[in-house]
């Protein structure tokens, strides 16, 4: 067998390594650029730590094999534990808390449970559409992401925790304080691993602590509100506060309840980023809008959208999947080799020995590379929903379907996210006509635990008005 290939990467600076190759204010865009340059696998070194990145469908599929690899809790994920401790997203593999929380939460985020909250999700979406088509002066330009962020928080709080925030009544361009706190916390979590610890402590702890205080205070108020306004709802908030783990008999502590409440809107924050990208892609591809409206008119007609319509909207499912592919709203996830039971430190071989990594090498799947793999997709940069429908979608390799992560550590809210994306996308296509303020706008993204289009403005009016 031939020797493994050297994993490529940009040349670095003495001591600093590749710190200049990754923009700390736009990490994922930097990684997308590196993936485009170096291909299916590459590495960088930052402050003495080497990180390997995977950017092809075949390699992504291989390292998602849970008999060989597992989620790596390190870097920014470790940092955000300051705010949410050992919550589902941040728990280490060995921590009992993950299993307890997962068994308590999962039944309330199943497809059936999510479907029960369809009317509440529809209500929130109708409020957004009314704001855009009736509440704004005609021709008012706005960034759809801001209102979609408010919609996501409103829908999360109402469907999962039973409280109406009134976030859709905020002035145009304003966002709920929880959203800013989430952005401050996640952006700081992304930056902290690339700074000396002393610098973090001296200069950046204030904003970090304030964001955490805001998020946890928001969750505590939600718990207090439920305690004072008993509704009889057996929703997710009820489960967090009252349910017992069927395996261990344990309940979540008060602090763990807050951890999970804070984690939910952070996790679901990828959804509005994806819908914003959908609006952009539809503006760039009017023929897709026409076909989607034909499907909607056939399935739903002039009546209201119903929950049973969602499964029938095959083309709109393709639009949502194609948006997830191209937008990479959830931009990646971390993987590491499962430690050998016998303590072996032998190198790990990838692609049958084509590449070799250390036994404990952390890897990051860069979905902006994986989802644009030319070995899988013809015209990978083109928005083509039809490739995500029916047999075309079924035949795609598993490596390009990792929008919600992988395996047992896959996003526990994936069914909720799918319902949100389908309902909001279908409603916007059915009822709203958008116009880009800058018709030459080219997608540029930034973000932290999510990735979103930036500086993207539109106007909106009721369909056909």
Q: 395: domain range?
A: 19-462
CA-CA distance, 275 to 280, in Å (whole number)? 9
Q: How far apart, in Å, are the Cα atoms of 94 and each of 143, 248, 338, 357?
A: 42, 15, 12, 23
Q: Which residues contact 370 (CB under 8 A, 6 or more apart)?
A: 54, 55, 56, 57, 60, 399, 400, 402
| Of residues 200, 154, 143, 145, the one with CA closest to residue 178 | 154
Helix 205-228 with 177-191: angle, nearest 10 deg:
140
Q: Is residue 25 part of a domain?
A: yes
Sign of CA pseudo-dihedral 447, 451, 457, 460: negative
CATH of the domain at 120: 1.10.630.10
For residues 51 and 44, the answer to whether their CB atoms sit within 8 Å is yes
pLDDT digit string, tens, across residues 315-354? 999 999 999 999 999 999 999 999 999 989 999 999 999 9
Helix (H, G, I), strand (E, B) or coil at 365: strand
Q: How many domains does the chain have?
A: 1
pLDDT value of position 464 = 87
Q: Crossing angle of helices 286-299/270-284, nearest 10°?
A: 110
Asked whether residue 199 is domain-assigned, the answer is: yes
Q: Confirm whether 14 is domain-assigned.
A: no
- In the chain, % of residues over pLDDT 70: 100
Task: Report the pLDDT value the prediction gives residue 1, as an integer from 0 to 100.
Answer: 59
From the CB of residue 94, how many other CB atoms can be counted at a distance below 10 Å?
Answer: 7
Q: What's the pLDDT tens digit per position in 182-198?
A: 999 999 999 998 888 88
In a domain? residue 279:
yes
Q: 77-106 pLDDT, tens per residue?
A: 999 999 999 999 999 999 999 999 999 999
**Per-residue pLDDT at 13:** 87
Does any domain span residue 5? no
Mean per-residue pLDDT of the chain: 95
Task: Render pLDDT for 419-464 as a digit per residue (tens, 0 to 9).
Answer: 999 999 999 999 999 999 999 999 999 999 999 999 999 999 999 8
Q: Give every CB contact of residue 400 below 8 A, 6+ residues apart in sequence.
A: 57, 60, 325, 370, 371, 373, 376, 377
pLDDT class for 25, splitting at 50, 70, 90? confident
Whether the predicted pLDDT of 465 surpasses 70: yes
| Nearest alpha carbon to residue 92 among 74, 106, 105 | 74
Q: Return all residues near 69 (Cβ < 8 A) that are at least 6 apart.
A: 63, 335, 336, 337, 338
Helix, strand, coil in percent for the chain, rounding step 5? 55, 10, 35
Phi, psi of 49 (to 5 degrees): -105, 130
Helices 254-268, 270-284: axis angle to 10 degrees equals: 10
pLDDT tens digits, residue range 128-147? 999 999 999 999 999 999 99
Judge whether 2 lies within some domain. Answer: no
Q: Is residue 4 part of a domain?
A: no
Q: Is the pLDDT of residue 231 over 90?
A: no
Residue 174 lies in a domain: yes
What average pLDDT does range 230-238 have in this prediction? 91
Average pLDDT in the 191-220 region? Answer: 92
Strand partners, 335: 71, 363
pLDDT higher than 80, residue 47:
no
> CA 248, CA 28: separation in Å to the nearest integer?
39
Measure the CA–CA gap between 220 and 260, rounded to whole angstroms.
11
How far apart CA 6 and CA 220 sit, in angstroms, is 51
């Amino acid at each position: 067998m031939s020797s493994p290939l050297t994993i490529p990467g940009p040349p670095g600076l003495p001591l600093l390594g590749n710190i200049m190759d990754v923009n700390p204010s736009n990490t994922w865009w930097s990684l997308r650029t590196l993936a485009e340059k170096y291909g299916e696998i590459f590495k960088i070194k930052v402050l003495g730590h080497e990180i390997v990145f995977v950017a092809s469908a075949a390699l992504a599929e291989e390292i998602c094999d849970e008999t060989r690899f597992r989620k790596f809790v390190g870097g920014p994920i470790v940092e955000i534990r300051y705010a949410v401790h050992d919550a589902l997203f941040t728990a280490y593999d060995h921590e009992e808390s993950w299993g307890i929380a997962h068994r308590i939460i999962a039944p309330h985020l199943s497809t059936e449970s999510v479907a029960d909250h369809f009317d509440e999700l529809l209500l929130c979406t109708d409020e957004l559409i009314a704001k855009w088509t009736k509440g704004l002066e005609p021709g008012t330009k706005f960034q759809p992401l801001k209102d979609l962020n408010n919609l996501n928080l409103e829908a999360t709080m109402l469907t999962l925790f039973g409280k109406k925030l009134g976030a859709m009544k905020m002035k145009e361009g304003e966002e709920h304080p929880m959203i800013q706190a989430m952005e401050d916390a996640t952006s700081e979590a992304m930056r902290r691993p690339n700074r000396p610890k002393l610098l973090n402590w001296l200069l950046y702890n204030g904003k970090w602590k304030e964001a955490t205080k805001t998020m946890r205070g928001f969750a505590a108020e939600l718990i207090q509100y439920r305690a004072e306004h008993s509704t009889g709802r057996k929703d997710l908030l009820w489960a967090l506060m009252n349910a017992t783990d069927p395996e261990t008999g344990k309940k979540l502590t008060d602090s763990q309840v807050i951890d999970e409440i804070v984690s939910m809107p952070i996790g679901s924050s990828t959804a509005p980023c994806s819908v914003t990208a959908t609006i952009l892609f539809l503006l760039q591809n009017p023929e897709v809008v026409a076909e989607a409206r034909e499907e909607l008119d056939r399935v739903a007609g002039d009546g209201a959208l119903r929950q049973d319509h969602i499964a029938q909207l095959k083309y709109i499912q393709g639009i949502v999947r194609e948006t997830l592919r191209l937008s990479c709203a959830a931009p990646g996830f971390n993987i590491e080799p499962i430690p050998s039971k016998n303590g072996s430190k032998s190198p790990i071989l990838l692609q049958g020995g084509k590449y070799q990594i250390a036994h404990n090498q952390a890897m990051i799947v860069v979905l902006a590379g994986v989802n644009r793999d030319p070995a899988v997709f013809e015209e990978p940069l083109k928005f083509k929903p039809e490739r995500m429908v029916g047999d075309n979608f079924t035949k795609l390799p598993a490596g390009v379907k990792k929008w919600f992560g992988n395996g047992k550590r896959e996003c526990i809210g994936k069914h909720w996210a799918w319902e949100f994306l389908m309902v909001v996308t279908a409603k916007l296509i059915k009822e709203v006509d958008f116009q880009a303020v800058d018709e030459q706008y080219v997608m540029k993204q930034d973000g932290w635990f999510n990735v979103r289009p930036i500086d993207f403005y539109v106007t909106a009016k009721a369909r056909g008005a």
